[in-house]
Amino acid sequence: ETGVTQSPTHLIKTRGQQVTLRCSSQSGHNTVSWYQQALGQGPQFIFQYYREEENGRGNFPPRFSGLQFPNYSSELNVNALELDDSALYLCASSQALAGGQETQYFGPGTRLLVL
């Protein structure tokens, strides 16, 4: 148990719809990162939030957006869903200190299927 929770555990959407995935960070963590993992592949970095500000972004289009809240919980929003968005979405929280990147604690993931 990492103390990081995600919801929902899985969901099915259709092309063109919008989806919001949620992540609750481990207590005391101020940084959250989101990843997309397609079946059989390694995770791909989507973005990272530190103290409610985006702190880095991977090669994902703007229809992937995020929020981090004052209590350090986080959302990943995906608009205009495409079939290729079907994947496991993972969030990971950490306590970033000045100049350093700390150990990440991963949630169990949300499995999204787009039909």
Q: Report the interface residues with another protein, using CB under 8 A.
A: 2, 33, 35, 37, 41-45, 48, 55-58, 88, 90, 92, 100-106, 108-109, 111
| Residue number, 15 or 88, with CB nearest to another protein | 88
Task: Please confirm whether the linkage preceding 43 is cis (ω < 30° from 0).
Answer: no
For 103, which DSSP code? P
| Residue number, 41 or 80, with CB nearest to another protein | 41
CB 37 within 8 A of CB 88: yes
Please, what is the minimum distance in Å from the beta carbon of residue 67 to another protein?
18
| Residue number, 19 or 112, with CB nearest to another protein | 112
User: Cα(4)–Cα(31) distance, rounded to whole angstroms?
Assistant: 12
Please, what is the minimum distance in Å from the beta carbon of residue 115 to another protein?
20
| Residue number, 13 or 57, with CB nearest to another protein | 57
- The 3-state DSSP class for residue 15 equals coil
Please, what is the minimum distance in Å from the beta carbon of residue 22 to another protein?
17
Angle formed at CA 105 by CA 102 and CA 110, multiple of 5 degrees: 140
